[in-house]
């Protein structure tokens, strides 16, 4: 489906759609929340237009926003996201620990974040490598299998 959308439009459209859904959720609350919903939608549209403009810039951020990143820029994005998840895990751990310590009722959302990030990490290990280790091709030759770390 994404192939039908121009690369430069993908992220701005994603921002617009996700933001509009979130703004609609506020509107559904009823009462005076519709005012917040309208303000949120305006902010979302401004953000989407800003993302579209930035996607045209000749720099790393522009390439990532414009969905035309090369291998170095993809690596940059991957490392940044990994750092973000690390921060989220540390913040969630601090939150759940503090919540438990003060007998608060808000400790469990932090536990959910911690569980999701931990599960995501294990899923990553499973998908991207651990399951593909295979066996050494010299297991039945009588030679000792050497680890690169010990050589």
Partner 1 sequence: MRNRVREQRTQQGLSQAELAAALGVSRQTVISIESGRYLPSLPLAFAIARFFGLTVDKMFDPDEEEAGT
- Provide the binding-site residues for partner 1, judged by CB under 8 A: 58-60, 63, 69-73
10 Å CB burial of residue 29 (0-12, 13-18, 19+) is exposed
The least CB distance from residue 62 to partner 1, in Å, is: 9
10 Å CB burial of residue 93 (0-12, 13-18, 19+) is middle
Nearer to partner 1, 60 or 99 (CB): 60
Nearer to partner 1, 72 or 146 (CB): 72
40: its two tokens: 């949120």
Nearer to partner 1, 14 or 62 (CB): 62
Write the CA distances from 85 to 1, 14, 36, 73, 92, integer angstroms: 28, 21, 29, 18, 10
The least CB distance from residue 60 to partner 1, in Å, is: 6
Nearer to partner 1, 58 or 137 (CB): 58
The least CB distance from residue 139 to partner 1, in Å, is: 27
The least CB distance from residue 26 to partner 1, in Å, is: 38
């Amino acid at each position: 489906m994404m192939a039908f959308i121009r690369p430069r439009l993908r992220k701005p459209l994603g921002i617009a759609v996700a933001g509009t859904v979130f703004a609609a959720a506020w509107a559904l609350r009823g009462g005076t929340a519709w005012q917040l919903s309208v303000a949120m939608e305006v902010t979302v549209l401004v953000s989407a237009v800003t993302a579209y403009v930035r996607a045209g810039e000749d720099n790393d951020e522009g390439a990532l926003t414009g969905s035309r990143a090369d291998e170095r820029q993809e690596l940059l994005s991957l490392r940044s996201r990994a750092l973000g998840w690390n921060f989220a895990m540390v913040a969630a751990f601090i939150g759940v620990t503090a919540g438990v310590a003060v007998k608060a009722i808000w400790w469990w959302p932090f536990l959910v974040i911690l569980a999701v990030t931990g599960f995501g990490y294990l899923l990553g290990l499973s998908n991207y490598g651990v399951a593909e280790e295979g066996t050494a091709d010299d297991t039945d030759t009588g030679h000792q299998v050497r680890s690169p770390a010990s050589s």
